[in-house]
Structure 1
Amino acid sequence: MKFSKLVLTTLIFSIFFASCTDDDTKQDIPLGSYDNGLLILNQGLFLNNDASVSYVSSDFSIAQNDIFSVVNPAKTLGDTGQFVGFYNELAYIVLNGSNKIEIVNRYTLKSVGSINSGLKNPRYIAFANGKGYVTNWGDGSVATDDFVAVIDLTTNKVASSIPVIEGPEKILSNSGKLYVAHKGGFSYGNKISVIDVTTNAISTTITVGDVPESLEIKDGTLWVACSGNPSYVKAPLVETAGQIVKVNLSTNKVASTIAYSDATKHVSNLVLNGSDAYYTIDSDIYKMSTSATALPITSAFSTTAQGVYGVYSFAVHGNHIYVGDAGDYTHNGKVYVYALTTPSIGTLEKTLTVGVIPAGFYFND
């Protein structure tokens, strides 16, 4: 009996061990050459048709530029890379200057198609209800032709469009609603449009601060970072300070506003990470608690030691802070990786040379 029990126990353990080993092996199988890492969209020079994508592995041991061209040697990505939206295994790369969206497998960068019609000055993309929604400026000099293009994701064609007010930029999806920030295009906006995805129509408009620049959602609240009117606005407009506006998503009403009193402080690149909020002003990185009732006066650290004139792109991920530096906006840009954890926050950990004008970070993990 004891021998039989021993054999049975050994057999069960062997099956269990083999099963676990198989599962672990499956988890370690990469989905593609560019899995487990960071994609960096490089904008390129306007009208130069040199937008590109760089890749950096999660452990920083691999860094490679222009990976779209490596994988798709017969194709050019396009002009002025604006944004990348992930939808399942696909990445939708918005090319502002080309008026198109290039669709690739997000793990292999292999092109699977493109959207070449129905777009005009496309900016950002979000996904809801099985559709893609792309903000478009239309003709930048015309205030009345802006729209959100609705993409049928089964055919990857623009199926319809939703007229909106001037200068739609960042767009977020949440619980059957789309929230669109209107920076104002060539003007200066202060509105958020709310679109119902069941009707593809605007349900309400929310007035926030001047030039809403970033959108984040946390715990039923929409955070809107408003950079404020810049110093070069023309009368009757005046320069205004940056602020963070919080909108209650159950009512779509402004719940609170915290602002700088100094009109020269312009907030950009808001990121929420756990219980902390991060944003940039010029070359400085600011950190505050998400429960704070005032904006910090002193920055967490500065990037001026790296020669950064102004933070062009920004991300907080894992234990790192990522800063994209466009440099002279003509030659290859830099990405600086800093420590996130206190007390070493702001310690430079890595410097990477990427493509021209690093515009955004997209994490494939």
Structure 2
Amino acid sequence: MSKQQRAAAILVAAGRGLRAGAGGPKQYRSIGGQTVIYRAMAPFSNHPQVSHVQPVLHLDDVAMFSAAVTGLRHEQPAEGGATRQASVRAGLEALSSHAPDIVLIHDAARPFVSGDVISRAIEAAEFTGAAIPVVAVTDTVKLVDASGNIEATPERARLRIAQTPQAFRFDVILQAHRRAAREGRADFTDDAALAEWAGLTVATFEGDVANMKMTTPEDFVREEARMASGLGDIRTGTGYDVHAFGAGDHVMICGVKVPHTRGFLAHSDGDVGLHALVDAILGALADGDIGSHFPPSDPQWKGASSDRFLKYAVDRVTGRGGRIANLEVTLICERPKIGPLRDTMRARIAEISGVDMSRVAVKATTSERLGFTGREEGIAATASATIRLPWNDKAGSQ
């Protein structure tokens, strides 16, 4: 792309996704250990040629969106409309103050878009002004009537399946959307159809068969299985942490505030369970330890909540294409009693790490009144983490 050309992206995420079944809007559901919307947005946020990423959301989803895309750059979300077409226009209007040369319009329900497809979209829009990614139809297609009888067999060689991101000159597609709104046309299923109606010639470029749209429950089951089949590099790490008691009226353990007669002496919140778990995950990644990523000498971590550390470690796994298989913490103390809070702790770890609670174990034991834990001078914790990475992962730093 020439220096004069600036590209922006719109992520259309205002739909409710009812055909995907129970579990809330499909774009916020997890697949392969990461939300659909995170996977859909990350390639645009990380692409060097995309200057602005404009999400378009349902107002009810703002909190879910913010939690799902932590760490990704994007503009202030725009409010979506009653139809996809209205949502796209809202995104275009929100970007108008930035006046990009090219805009890429992508469905948040397509979590497997690649950087190569994005690059091809930008190049195609620069060259043609309007272009969409397509893949060839491999099955024979039949045209049927209302009764289900075959009317015709279209020539398969000329058929293509349309995908997103669809790419356009920004000013041209904005004017086309505004015209459609003025004329009461709200029935276009994609932006290419609207562009054709507006008189534009829409070119095509090579899409990607993996860039599929998540629509039904079966799509999620199939893609989970596909992703899991490529994660054959199974690794296990262990962690250990200890903190002494000091003045206070509570302790943080596994992300839960536990009333106690003492507090922890610690630089952060002293959560021994989460600290041990972070070390276990980093160990499985061969990626240093908690101290190398969050040095106690750094004042920014003073009093920090340890859920930030665990989320960071989990993101290191998903950032390498992996997923968490199992997390286990053992707490060693006389008091406070862990048993009554065991499931609360499991649920909190599951929430922070984005895994099902069935993959999280919290155990507790005493040291039979022996040693510093037996004298109730502090608490110790051990942890283990099992992760799955792609076989070709070579990103370990140790």
Larger Rg: 2
Greater helix share, structure number: 2
> Looking at both structures, which has the greater relative contact order when contacts are Cα pairs under 8 Å and sequence separation is at least 6?
2
Greater strand share, structure number: 1
Same fold at TM > 0.5: no
Shorter-chain TM range is under 0.3
Q: TM-score, normalised by structure 1?
A: 0.26
